[in-house]
Amino acid sequence: MKTDTKISKRLALWLRHQPQDAGLTLTEDGWANVAEVLSAFDRLGLACDQTQLQRVVDTNDKKRFELSEDGTKIRARQGHSVKIDLGLAPLTPPEFLYHGTATKTLPLILSEGLKPMNRHHVHLSPDTATAVKVGMRHGKPAVLKVAARVMQDAGHVFFRTDNGVWLAENVPPDFLELTGM
């Protein structure tokens, strides 16, 4: 639904980057009050009620958002540029993880590695299919294979969000290899 997509994009903006645009205050761990979020949609002129918000959370293809058990709070699971602590514990990653990007960014990434840019972490996928989808958002896709276990052995820390996205502070170029997809 077009409206659900608009709601999802606005939630991503508010809950990850610009809560002040909606008059929201995020807790230290990224939660916003659902009633305040619904009021912000109303002020924006975009109809959204609790049922529709639940549907957007439930049907988001990347499971970007989560509601608290009692349904009174909502947050983005990752991708923040605002400072929050998701409370994720370090985890041992699989041997390899993947990062989807556009081919035009490959020279810079292969020389400097993956950096979080305006976010807190680099996002990594558990499989190439997901990485291809991510890369397609930025242009002609390319997939980089990350030697995650070797990277961890070298002292790097990994986290995994509830929706399966792996996070790292950065990925130095020595741990990257271009895949043939």
What the block records as the tokens of 12 is 């991503």
- All domains of the chain in start order, with CATH: 2-76 (1.10.10.970), 97-178 (3.20.170.30)
User: Does residue 181 register a pLDDT over 90?
Assistant: no
Sheet with strand 65-67: strands edge to edge: 32-33, 73-76, 65-67
Phi-psi map region of 82: left, alpha, beta (phi>0 left; psi -120 to 50 alpha): beta
Q: Render pLDDT for 122-175 as a digit per residue (tens, 0 to 9).
A: 999 999 999 999 899 888 999 999 999 999 999 999 999 888 999 999 999 999
Q: Render pLDDT for 71-126 as a digit per residue (tens, 0 to 9).
A: 999 999 888 888 888 888 999 999 999 999 999 999 999 999 999 888 789 999 99
Tell me whether residue 131 is exposed, middle or buried, using C-beta atoms within 10 angstroms of its C-beta: 0 to 12, 13 to 18, 19 or more.
buried
Work out the average pLDDT over 57-78: 91
Tokens 């807790």 found at: 27
> What pLDDT shows up at residue 86?
81
